[in-house]
């Protein structure tokens, strides 16, 4: 069974990233108004999860 590739954005400002090397359930906390990229396509690292 393959582990699912997933991230989450719950309320403001809590995010869990899925593309950090060797990091499971990394929590990120962003404060203030800004433009961020939540997810984008990436076929190089994990073909089964072609986003980062």
| pLDDT value of residue 37 | 74
Rounded CA separation 40/50 (Å): 8
**Model confidence pTM above 0.75:** no
Mean pLDDT (whole number) for 23-29: 70
Cβ atoms of 25 and 15 closer than 8 Å:
no
Place of tokens 């404060």: 31
pLDDT higher than 60, residue 31: yes
CA 17 to centroid of chain Cα atoms: 3
Residue in the structure block whose two tokens are 């984008």: 40
Render pLDDT for 8-23 as a digit per residue (tens, 0 to 9): 666 667 776 665 556 6
* 28-35 mean pLDDT: 76
- pLDDT value at position 23? 65
């Amino acid at each position: 069974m393959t582990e699912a590739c997933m991230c989450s954005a719950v309320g403001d400002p809590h995010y869990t990233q899925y593309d950090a090397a060797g990091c499971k359930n990394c929590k990120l906390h962003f404060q203030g108004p800004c433009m961020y990229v939540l997810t984008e396509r990436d076929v190089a690292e994990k073909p089964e999860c072609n986003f980062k």
